[in-house]
Amino acid sequence: MPYFTHDELSLYYREKGAGNLLLLLPGNTASSASYSGELYYFGHNYHAVSLDLRGTGKSQRLSSWPDNWWDRCVEDAACLVSHSGEQKCFVMGTSGGANMALLFAIRYPQHAAGVIADSCAELYSPKNLRKEVSDRALRTDEQVKFWRHAHGEDWEAVVDADNNLLLKLADQGGNLFNGQLSTIQCPVLFTGSLKDSYIPDIGEQNIGMSKQITNSSAFLYNDGDHPFMWSCPDVFRSVSHQFLKRLV
């Protein structure tokens, strides 16, 4: 199984295909197991790699999740790029993974050749973050099936740790970027559904984010939900493929 070590943690990843490196970063409570369809599709044209973020999936568990968990995961992603023997990569993420993809471009401009940020926002409403945690408490059959597939039998501990992270983010105002989006140098594509039930102002948010980044664009679709990547997969893949083709 493909593992690498960073920060004294054993971290797992899945990979498919060959060519330019395309790093897929999972959203909150997901793992690389959730992205088999994307790995298969993009693996036809790229070396598609998806990381199990620290404390999730098949990666080593944490005794506690630090407040700067997103930043530490971005460090892990940069280490994975080096582990792959590459200098540059495209980065794709959805929801929380999209925020990490943008943080990757901010922290590691030397590695980021382009970013696709799906179904994300610059400022998450603290009210919506707390509602997300409350909705997870329902533990529906669909939720449990998704989490068990992503993380295994200890999925509940992973979800609880992520819940605590979201609640801390809500207490801090829901902003992960602190005005740093304008420092991103590589091309960025924002994608999302205008019917996103988790980010109701996604159109305004994505346009506002795009305005801060010199080489960026936004594709907003009047169908689907959150995340757009999975609710309208054919449209998302087509738009993403066209974006990446221009950068190769």
b/e per residue, 176-211, with b = 16+ CB within 10 A?
Answer: bbeeebeebebbbbbbbbebbebbeebbebbeebbe
Domain boundaries, the chain: 3-124+180-247
Judge contact between 197 and 226, C-beta under 8 A. Answer: yes
pTM over 0.85, yes/no: yes
Q: How far apart are CA 70 and CA 194, in angstroms?
A: 26
Q: Is the pLDDT of residue 6 over 80?
A: yes
C-alpha distances in Å from residue 209, one per residue of 8, 48, 103, 246: 35, 26, 13, 21
Cis peptide leading into 227, omega within 30 of 0? yes
Tell me if 208 sits within 8 A of 99, measured CB to CB.
no
* CATH for the 3-124+180-247 domain, from 3.40.50.1820, 1.10.10.10, 1.10.3720.10, 3.40.1260.10: 3.40.50.1820
Q: Cα-atom radius of gyration of the chain, to the nearest Å?
A: 17
If phi over 0 gives left and psi between -120 and 50 gives alpha, with beta otherwise, what is residue 214?
A: alpha
197-218 pLDDT, tens digit each = 999 999 999 999 999 999 999 9
Closest by Cα among 113, 116, 89 to 102 = 116
Kindly state the average pLDDT of the residues 227-247. Answer: 98
d(C-alpha 205, C-alpha 211), whole Å: 10
Contact 185, 105 (CB under 8 A): yes
Q: Give phi and psi for 46, each to the nearest 5.
A: -140, 165
pLDDT digits (tens, 9 = 90+) for 148-188: 999 999 999 999 999 999 999 999 999 999 999 999 999 99
1 pLDDT more than 90: no
Hey, what amino acid is at 147?
W
* pLDDT tens-digit map of 76-105: 999 999 999 999 999 999 999 999 999 999
d(CA 93, CA 190): 10
Confidence of residue 20 (pLDDT cuts 50, 70, 90): very high
Which residues, 6 or more positions from 118, have their beta carbon under 8 angstroms from its beta carbon?
A: 92, 93, 94, 95, 98, 190, 191, 192, 227, 228, 229, 236
